Amino acid sequence: MSLLPQFGTIVPSQTQSLLATNYLQWNNNGGAAGVPGNFADFAQQYLPEIYEAEVERYGNRTLSGFLRMVGAEMPMTSDQVIWSEQNRLHISYTDVELGAVDGTKQIVDLNNAAVAGVQNVISINDTVVVLDPTTGKEAKGIVTESGANAGSLLAADSIKIQVFSGQTFTALGFTATGLKVFVYGSDYSKGTTIGAGAGNSAARVSVEPVLTQYSNSPIIIRDQYVVSGSDTAQIGWVNVATEDGTDGYLWYLKAESETRLRFEDYLEMAMVEGELNASALNPLTQPGTQGLFAAIQDRGNVETGFTAGGGLAEFDAILKNLDTQGAIEENMLFLNRATALDFDDMLAAISSGAAGGVAFG
């Protein structure tokens, strides 16, 4: 007669020695040789050493605070936010076209593309700078006529300029289209008045400021963490630490804390990555929201095909363009769109010269 299953035999020893005959065998390797596998791989002869602190393998994984750091946060309580942005203080025009030559004067069409809403607000005797972005040429002059004048072939959105050098823009080698005009002052003869008459006495254009309005809608985001009632009193043996500085030994608080942190990251990343939903196929589809990246792509300055490996030439060109925008130290945001989901990877990609898109707004 025999007893099954057999777990081995304990043999007494005169000394406290670690012998296979005087200790229970827990290392049965899954029930080999007819021994049940109840304790398979549970532990060897000694209990394992457990490192109580959780290893932060990925470092700080939160993204919260980015929008706060760049000053791009604004609280709201309504279903829509509408705001107005200032336009330029000084008068300037782009995509300007050269017209007919009249002696040493030349007609300039301020609205060559016939853009709706563009008005001629340049007055007679304004001093202007005309820039040719194609060749880099620049010339200054004074406006002698402005607005519709049938006798000199001027249209409502045209002006006539006398270049200070005595030559016309065409004679100076300016490109016929794509020019820029900027008003930097005015120059009147002594003893003249404005408000009536012609020439030095002609009335000036009263410039009314125009604001550009934008609107955006909020979105509702949700997350959830569920814990069983029987698990709320369970104590773990790992000292967990979270990115918000808390720690503890209750395992379910670790999951709750990460759910909260993940929700806060989603809250911010939705504001960064958000897109307006232009699809009208499903009437129940949410309208979306315009995030930071989408706003920069829509109305910011975007450099495509950027690579830092090409040297500083591209940076110089970008900074030169931003210098014309004003207050770049307050409004410049450098982003590598291809790796925007991880700001650490983004900075690494930029420093290593990885190709991507660079957005400035």
The average pLDDT across 160-164 equals 94
Residue 67 tokens, joined: 């929008």
Q: Which residue bears the tokens 């993204």?
A: 63
* Nearest alpha-carbon partner for 10 in 2, 18, 20, 32: 20
pLDDT band (50, 70, 90) for residue 112:
confident
CA distance 224 to 138: 62
pLDDT at site 340: 40
CA distance 144 to 107: 10
CB 138 within 8 A of CB 129: yes
Using CA atoms of 323, 327, 331, 334 in order, give the dihedral in degrees to the nearest 10.
30
CA distance 235 to 177: 76
Q: What percent of the chain has pLDDT over 90?
A: 14
267-276 per-position pLDDT tens digit: 888 888 888 8
pLDDT at 3 over 80: no
Query: At 34, is the secondary structure helix, strand, or coil?
Result: helix
pLDDT at 163 over 80: yes
How far is residue 87 from each of residues 17, 103, 114, 204, 325, measured CA to CA in Å?
89, 36, 20, 21, 11
The average pLDDT across 281-296 equals 78
Find residue 83's DSSP bridge partners.
214
Between 132 and 208, the higher pLDDT residue: 132
Lowest mean pLDDT among 32-36, 150-154, 253-257, 325-329: 32-36
* Nearest alpha-carbon partner for 165 in 197, 137, 198: 137
CB 161 within 8 A of CB 146: no
pLDDT band (50, 70, 90) for residue 339:
very low
pLDDT at 302 over 60: yes
Rg (CA), the chain: 37
Q: What percent of the chain has pLDDT over 70?
A: 65
326-337 per-position pLDDT tens digit: 656 655 665 544
Alpha helices, H only, the chain: 66-69, 251-273, 292-299, 313-323, 328-331, 343-351
Mean pLDDT, rounded, of the chain: 74
Task: Give every CB contact of residue 101 below 8 A, 6+ residues apart in sequence.
Answer: 107, 168, 170
pLDDT band (50, 70, 90) for residue 61:
confident
Plot region of 48 (φ>0 → left; ψ -120 to 50 → alpha; else → beta): beta
pLDDT at site 40: 47
At 110, give phi and psi (nearest 5°): -80, -20
Tell me the range of 83-97, 121-135, 225-239 where mean pLDDT is highest. Answer: 121-135
Amino acid at 161: I
pLDDT at 153 over 50: yes
Query: At 141, is the secondary structure helix, strand, or coil?
Result: strand
CB 182 within 8 A of CB 326: no
The average pLDDT across 297-307 equals 78
Lowest mean pLDDT among 231-240, 304-313, 340-349: 340-349
245-267 per-position pLDDT tens digit: 667 766 666 777 788 888 988 88
pLDDT at 217 over 60: yes
What's the start-to-end Cα distance of the chain, in Å?
89
Q: Which residue bears the tokens 């770049």?
A: 328
